[in-house]
Amino acid sequence: MKNYFITSESVTEGHPDKICDNISDAILDNLLVQDPFSKVGVETLVTTGSVHIAGEVSTRGFLDVQTVAGRVLKEIGYTDPKFGIDADDAGIWISIHSQSSDIAMGVNEANGKEQGAGDQGMMYGYACNETPELMPMPIIIAHKLTKKLAEVRKTNSIKHLGPDGKSQVTIEYEDDRPKRIDAIVIAQQHKEEISEDEVKLEIYEKVIKPICGKLMDEKTKIHINATGRFVIGGPEGDTGVTGRKIIVDSYGGVGRHGGGCFSGKDPSKVDRSGSYMARYIAKNIVAAELAEKCEIQLSYAIGISQPISVNVNCFGTNRIPEEEIMKLIFRNFDMRPKAIIEHLDLRRPIYKKTASYGHFGRNDEDFTWERTDKVDVLRQQAGI
């Protein structure tokens, strides 16, 4: 195969869209602590000096949106008016009502009726064996860069940085395997107190080299704050909305995406739980060495418990026929919404930490969809 290039991006938790994802998931967590069966669909918008929160909530808990939103802004680092919004002075606007009773009829268990999906739609899960995380390399490195940007800011290892930041990584592939980093793009907000030249030098030495050094060469292109200035950032520079970074949240554009965002949704919404289940299935198939790459598509209809369709695509890397892999999926994975929630233990307040640096490829015991506990049984049943 001839060489080709794949690019993925990531953003820090201070990016305007990620502020919104964090607030939406923090509200969800707050309600799940009080009532694990809360039904939550919350969207957030941020712009200069203000936070707007809307959505549908049905819960036995008490909803204190102002406190939760202010705490998230403070945790991220929006505590200085110079950044265009700060936790103590931001205006917080709320428009939240109860979940539609028509939707509740399809989702809630009643009179012997099984819990159905919270909406129609299709969800994708993906895994590949090119990184230890069984994720595409471009998105893994992009996330590592943005996490490092946040770390050097919060520890003051690089002074005068703002919360907003982005990374972009281009990987060159040879014979379908990652070979080298071809390009790195960093955008990092900073205060006037530090010069652009100093920002570039510090980020190169303290962020890029520790993360990317072994995969860079003399041809690697590096662009840091390519416009020459990044002082105006965060919600002052760009309006943020929940769910606008769904490719950052998933596989960096390598695996497909069904289109529904994850953040702010309780697990009865299959946009979230179905995507987690699809990743769980795909990762176990790759970890069991049934295939080098695997993409799972699930689709659901509102109020119906069983998926409408299930599809597996191994891109020609499978060791046994895909028809046999499909049989293994139906034998070993229960894809009904209630079963997904119970098996992956999704009624817990674990969602705020999913809101930044990806929902997949994370080494965290709360990310139950990352477990590879089906490997032995899959290998045994596949006869390999």
pLDDT in tens, 249-270: 999 999 899 999 999 999 999 9
Alpha carbons 82 and 192: distance in angstroms, whole number: 10
Q: Choose among 198, 139, 207: nearest CA to 168.
A: 139
pLDDT for position 118: 77
**111, pLDDT greater than 60:** no
pLDDT in tens, 326-375: 999 999 999 999 999 999 999 999 999 999 999 999 999 999 999 999 99
Q: Are 355 and 10 in contact (CB under 8 A)?
A: no
User: What residue has token string 């009080």?
Assistant: 34
Q: Are residues 125 and 53 in the same domain?
A: no
Q: Choose among 223, 214, 204, 86: nearest CA to 152.
A: 204
User: What residue has token string 């982005």?
Assistant: 166
Calculate the CA dihedral of residues 341, 347, 348, 352 and round it to 10 degrees: 90
Alpha carbons 216 and 182: distance in angstroms, whole number: 7
> What is the radius of gyration, based on Cα positions, of the chain?
21
Q: Are residues 38 and 125 in the same domain?
A: no
pLDDT for position 100: 73
pLDDT for position 104: 62
pLDDT in tens, 167-214: 999 999 999 999 999 999 999 999 999 999 999 999 999 999 999 999
Q: Are residues 85 and 48 in the same domain?
A: yes
Does residue 75 fall inside a structural domain? yes
Q: Are residues 326 and 365 in the same domain?
A: yes
pLDDT for position 110: 58
Does residue 150 fall inside a structural domain? no
Task: Name the percent of the chain lying above pLDDT 90.
Answer: 90
Q: Are residues 358 and 329 in the same domain?
A: yes
Q: Confidence band (pLDDT; 50, 70, 90) for 115?
A: confident
Instruction: Give me the CATH number covering residue 50.
Output: 3.30.300.10
* Residue 326, phi then psi, degrees to nearest 5: -60, -40
Q: Are 59 and 41 in contact (CB under 8 A)?
A: no
Prediction pTM value: 0.95
Domain that holds residue 334: 121-129+242-382
Does residue 147 fall inside a structural domain? no
The per-residue pLDDT of the chain, averaged, comes to 94
122-150 mean pLDDT: 98
Q: Are residues 311 and 261 in the same domain?
A: yes
pLDDT in tens, 46-80: 999 999 999 999 999 998 999 999 999 999 999 98
Does residue 247 fall inside a structural domain? yes
pLDDT in tens, 142-154: 999 999 999 999 9
**98, pLDDT greater than 90:** no
19 phi-psi bin (left φ>0, alpha ψ -120 to 50, beta other): alpha
Q: Are residues 284 and 346 in the same domain?
A: yes
Alpha carbons 289 and 320: distance in angstroms, whole number: 10
How do beta strands 4-11 and 161-174 pair? antiparallel
Does residue 85 fall inside a structural domain? yes
**101, pLDDT greater than 90:** no
44 - beta bridge partners? 53
Q: Are residues 100 and 125 in the same domain?
A: no
Q: Are residues 65 and 125 in the same domain?
A: no
pLDDT for position 77: 95
Does residue 69 fall inside a structural domain? yes
Alpha carbons 82 and 79: distance in angstroms, whole number: 9
Alpha carbons 4 and 19: distance in angstroms, whole number: 34
pLDDT for position 84: 84
Residue by residue, DSSP assigns 56-107 as: EEE-SS---HHHHHHHHHHHHT---GGGS--TTT-EEEEEEEPPPHHHHHHH
**275, pLDDT greater than 70:** yes
Domain count, the chain: 2
Q: Are residues 283 and 335 in the same domain?
A: yes
Does residue 90 fall inside a structural domain? yes
279-306 mean pLDDT: 97
pLDDT for position 189: 96
Q: Are residues 125 and 272 in the same domain?
A: yes
Does residue 30 fall inside a structural domain? yes
Q: Are 268 and 305 in contact (CB under 8 A)?
A: no
pLDDT in tens, 146-179: 999 999 999 999 999 999 999 999 999 999 999 9
Q: Are residues 125 and 66 in the same domain?
A: no
Task: Name the percent of the chain lying above pLDDT 70.
Answer: 96
Looking at 104, 138, 167, which one is the last position of a domain?
104
User: CA 253, 254, 256: angle at the middle one, nearest 5?
Assistant: 75
